[in-house]
Amino acid sequence: MTADERHVPPVLAHARQLLSGYDVVLSDVWGVLHDGFRAYATACDALVRFRDQGGTVVLVSNAPVPAPRVAAMLDSRRVPREAWDDIVSSGEIALTHLTEKAYAAVHYVGPRDRDAAFFERSTAKPASIEEADAVVCTGLVDDMTETAEDYRPLLAQALARQLPFVCVNPDLVVDVGGRLFPCAGAVADVYAQMGGEVFWAGKPYPAAYETALAAAKRLRGKVVDRRRVMVIGDAVRTDIAGAAGQGLDALFIAAGIHRHETMDGDLINASKIAELFKPGTPRAIAAMPVLTW
């Protein structure tokens, strides 16, 4: 077997044997547990069974809303409460960051109706770019028609004042029933490329994993052995890279955001997944089309 071949994750039909070697699962939500509209039944069943055998599941989501709102969204998509123990959301991390920084006034960017739970919790006063202490972005105001480039003039104003940019959802895109929509991460990426300072409140950045491991420690009543923590996700840039950055094992789910790059119908294409996981990319220890016990 060549070095290139060793870098490609083996494809599993079932996760039962693999997960038996772990105490904690840090699982992505969108793309692993649901597609934006409905739950993936086999994935939910797998996490329920993992918990039944003594495992702890912490959901780690880049959703730009507080954890209770993520829980409500999971309920609406019929993800059973028995599939998880706790939720860490980017929205919650961002709110903590805003409090720690004591920003009095910020310029908010994002859809007020969709992300109302975040805006209602934030205590910083809304302000213009000229009066703000920071820019806080939960997403594009209209992700149906806008792109991140549409925000370049606003970002230029922020950069002129050297304002920090708080990215409440580090994802570049989200897959909603087969269609990709830009996220706050795409706007933050433009700002970073312009030379702006960005706080990324979620995966693949350390705050997400530090918060999730602290939750697992609290739930299990002891420090968690990082060798017995499995990250499950569908995005190489966030889930797999984030796991690699923290020295954690990762299970890649191909039917999520990378499905067009990795799958033929319901099956993983060997040459396609080899291209996605070519040397130099973060490595997953295994791959599955969908999470299945």
CA 41 to chain centre: 20
By CB atoms closer than 10 A (0-12, 13-18, 19+), residue 142 is exposed
Report the C-alpha gap between 110 and 127 in whole angstroms.
Answer: 14
CA-atom Rg of the chain in angstroms: 19
User: In this structure, what are the phi and psi dihedrals at residue 280, rounded to the nearest 5 degrees?
Assistant: 105, -20
Report the percentage of the chain scoring pLDDT > 90.
92
Report the C-alpha gap between 232 and 119 in whole angstroms.
Answer: 29
Residue where the block lists tokens 């780690």: 60
Q: What is the pLDDT of residues 223-272, one digit of tens each?
A: 999 999 999 999 999 999 999 999 999 999 999 989 999 999 999 999 99
Report the percentage of the chain scoring pLDDT > 70.
97
Work out whether strand 165-167 and strand 173-176 pair parallel, antiparallel, or are unpaired.
unpaired
CA 130 to chain centre: 31
pLDDT the model gives residue 177: 66
pLDDT the model gives residue 76: 96
Alpha-carbon dihedral angle through residues 99, 101, 106, 109, given to the nearest 10 degrees: -80
Token couple for 268: 């993983």
pLDDT the model gives residue 176: 73
Mean pLDDT in residue range 215-222: 98
pLDDT the model gives residue 180: 82
Assess whether pLDDT exceeds 80 at residue 5.
no
Q: What is the pLDDT of residues 166-212, one digit of tens each?
A: 999 999 988 776 678 899 999 999 999 999 999 999 999 999 999 99
pLDDT the model gives residue 200: 97
pLDDT the model gives residue 222: 96
Mean pLDDT in residue range 75-96: 97
Q: What is the pTM of this model?
A: 0.90
pLDDT the model gives residue 59: 98
pLDDT the model gives residue 271: 95
The letter for the amino acid at 108 is Y
